[in-house]
Amino acid sequence: DMGLFEAVRVLSESIYNNFKINGTVEYIGIPIRLDKKSELYMFRIIQESISNILRHSKATEYFIQFVFSTASLKIHISDNGTGFNTEEYSQEKHYGLINMSERIKILNGKMKITSSDEDGTNLLFEIPYGVK
């Protein structure tokens, strides 16, 4: 009911209180509410992204940025962790990432992952408005 951005901000506060990992959540543009299905799917994707950060990255902080434009919502998630081999990800069964990818496809969106030991992991999700 509070909207995707606010729900993610509250989630980030909870993560800090429970795990003491600093998270920044911000937005650019004018926030636009998505339909409930899209907001729920995107929340689950972000939740899985944060869970992966907590379980695998050894990060001390993460950053989530919402970019609201006239045609789409972009969500960028990055961390300062150890990263992983994205080629192995595409060849192995990583169910959390597979679920994220499937949800993005349902929303007619795109997902891009880059990762390295030096730069941590960067996820970019983009979904067009008006998906039902």
- The DSSP-derived string for the chain is ---HHHHHHHHHHHHHHHH--EEEEEEES---PPPHHHHHHHHHHHHHHHHHIIIII--SEEEEEEEE-SSEEEEEEEESS----HHHHHHS--HHHHHHHHHHHHTT-EEEEEEETTTEEEEEEEEETT--
Supply the pTM of this predicted model.
0.90
Band of the pLDDT at 98, cuts 50, 70, 90?
Answer: confident
Which pLDDT score is estimated for 92? 55
Which pLDDT score is estimated for 1? 75
